[in-house]
Structures are given as structure tokens and as C-alpha cells.
Structure 1
Amino acid sequence: MATALESRPLADDVEQTLIQLDADYSTIYGPDLTSWSRGVRGEFFELQRSRRTMDRETHPLHPRKASASRRRRHCKQLPWRIHAVAPGAVTVLLTPVWTDVHGPMERVFVVTARDAEGRHLKLPRGGSRQIAALVQGAFPAADWNQPETWRADGNRLTTWQQRRGA
């Protein structure tokens, strides 16, 4: 099986884009960065950051590269850690949402936690992000482009299936 090789790696394209951006700003505002106004410097640095992360997610597909023993410990402590964020959570649904509010497309997770009776639990500020990071760390091999459901009774993760009919 043959592998197609790109003629120019993506890193070279990004580097060329950054060099061109630097040249454009230097031509207009001068070579001395310290003489630029604060707004221009902020815009320049923001453009640099967006060009660097143009084709890369802010949160990688597998957020943690941990040893097997570390992953087992994450998995074993997961119910306790989730209950610290969302007390009484029995089922947690993690839904990936792609957004471009802050520039390049970014994947964030909307987390819905429910108790034993099926009532929705209110999460504290930053709770969705925190629970998503915990579950991703415990189950790095899961497909995080689809909604996933974590259940406390067996400490297992399954792909969410939408009920159809009726």
C-alpha cells in the first residue's frame, strides 16, 4: 500500500504565512515592534496565533497520552471525580459541538448530567469542560466526534443512540 506524500508539509505553509504576515506588518508599521500601538500589537499577535492554529484543534482528539496504569487509575477514580463536580450524577451525556466564536473552528463539549430519577443536574461554572476532560482522560480511545454517554453503575462509556419512533 502506497502512502501519498505532500510536496510541502503543512508546517512549511504555516511558517510561510507567518513570515508574510510579519513582513506585511513591518512594511506598514515599521520594523520595531515596541513602537507599534498596543492595539496594533494585539491584532498582530492574535493573527499570529490564529495562523498557527488554523488547521489544528484547540483540544486534540486524544487529550492525554498516559501510561496504562495512569489510565486505569483515571478510570477507577472517575466516578468519585465526576461526583465531586456533579453530586448525584448517574448518567452523563457528552455532546461535541463545533464552534468558531473565537476564530478558528474549535470543538467544545456540552455536558448533561442526570440523577437516578432522570432529573437534569445543574453544573457549576466550568463543569462541562472539567467533566469532559475527566472522561476523555479515562477513555482516550473513544470516538470523541460523536456523543458519548458515561454511566456510573458500570463506569463505562458508550456511544449515545438517539431513540427513534413513538
Structure 2
Amino acid sequence: MATALEVRHADDVEQALVQLDADFATIYGPDLASWSKGVRGEYLETLRSHRTADREAHPIHPRKASAGRRRRHQRQLPWRITQIAPGAVTVLLAPVWTDATGESHRTFLAQCFDSSGSKIRLPRGGSSRLADLMQGAFPGADWNRAQTWRADSNQVTRWQQRRTS
């Protein structure tokens, strides 16, 4: 039984999985252990495909390394950022959600500034490389919000928009 469900919204995923369970249980019985190996494989593969339909390039909770490796990443972060954006003292990293293919996809947009506040042009793929570096060094940060890295403190803080009155 091949169930082709077009799941476009994250809210519909749970309902689609419940319906898939009901369909397979109706045809093959409620006991998963009694199903043939091929049916079980098709069922598990269908579940996996529905659950990963909205998978992101940069996960919400990035990879977690050991504490020593995170400290090393944090120590090396200023040097690595300098390799990508020479002279950068501030990096603003903001998540951008796109829906070009029908699936929600998160990418990051980075803007680097030098000590005078001038924008530094990034090379191709620089935003993605900066996002990977910062997520590796600061996995506990909320990457669904814009974050600011400053060279003087070597810390990531949540970006605060200035209010003008």
C-alpha cells in the first residue's frame, strides 16, 4: 500500500501520521511484529518521509559537541571569522525562512561590520559558513532569532533592534 500524502504544513504532519497508522492497522492488523518485513519497511519509510518533510538545512537545535570542543571553537572563532570577513568586529546573523519549493527551509543571512561601522562584503557562501561556525561554538543560543557576535567579547547575544522615537 503506497500512501502518497502531500503534507505542506507542519500542523498537518501529526494528523497525516495518525491517519497512516490507522490505514496500515486496518489492512495488516494492529501488531507491527506480525507484518511482513517488506510491509514494515514501507511503513517505517513512509513515517520517516512524513516526519522529515520540513527538515531544515540548519536544525533548530544544532549539533552539540563536547565541552572542550565547544571551548576550542569559541577560542578560534575570531580567527575563523577573520578568514571569512577580514576586519569584522561585529557579525549580525539572522534566520530567513523561505518557501520556494513548497517546503519550509531556513537559511541564514550574515552581515559583517568593521570598527567604523562599514559593511564588509562576504564571499560566496560566507553567510552559511558563518552560521555553521557560530552554531558550533554556541549551540545553546536561540537560532530562531537574530544573533549578534562581537569580537571584543567573543560572545553571541540576541539582536536588539534600536527604537527611534
* TM-score strictly above 0.5: yes
Match of 1:144 in 2: 143
Distance across 1 between alignment mates of 2:109 and 2:71: 25
Equivalent position SS for 2:108: strand
Alignment of 1:147-162 (within 5 A): 147-162=146-161
Say how many residue pairs are matched: 128
Q: Which amino acid aligns with 2:118?
A: R
CA contact (8 A) 1:50 1:104 kept: no
Identity among equivalent pairs (%): 60
Equivalent position SS for 2:17: helix
Match of 1:122 in 2: 121
Relative to the length of structure 1, the TM-score reads 0.69
Pair 134,73 (structure 1): closer, same or farther in 2 beyond 3 Å: same
Match of 2:110 in 1: 111
1:27-66 residue CA offsets vs partner (Å, 9 max, x unmatched): xxxxxxxxxxxxxxxxxxxxxx975632433321222220
CA contact (8 A) 1:90 1:153 kept: yes
Equivalent position SS for 2:133: helix
Supply the RMSD in Å over aligned alpha carbons: 2.7
Pair 119,57 (structure 1): closer, same or farther in 2 beyond 3 Å: same
1:13 aligns with 2:12: no
Pair 50,117 (structure 1): closer, same or farther in 2 beyond 3 Å: farther
Structure 1 segments unaligned to the other structure (5+ residues): 1-8, 21-48
Q: What is the CA-CA distance between 1:74 and the residue it aligns to?
A: 0.4
Q: What is the CA-CA distance between 1:165 and the residue it aligns to?
A: 1.8
CA contact (8 A) 1:149 1:159 kept: yes
Distance across 2 between alignment mates of 1:144 and 1:152: 19
TM superposition outliers: structure 1 runs of 4+ over 3 Å: 49-52
CA contact (8 A) 2:63 2:136 kept: yes
Moved more, 124-133 or 56-65: 56-65
CA contact (8 A) 2:54 2:105 kept: no
Match of 2:85 in 1: 86
CA contact (8 A) 1:50 1:103 kept: no
Distance across 2 between alignment mates of 1:67 and 1:129: 22
Structure 2 segments unaligned to the other structure (5+ residues): 1-12, 25-47
CA contact (8 A) 1:53 1:104 kept: no
Match of 1:61 in 2: 60
Q: What is the CA-CA distance between 1:130 and the residue it aligns to?
A: 0.2
Match of 1:96 in 2: 95
Q: Which amino acid aligns with 2:142?
A: D
Q: What is the CA-CA distance between 1:135 and the residue it aligns to?
A: 0.5
Q: Which amino acid aligns with 1:129?
A: S
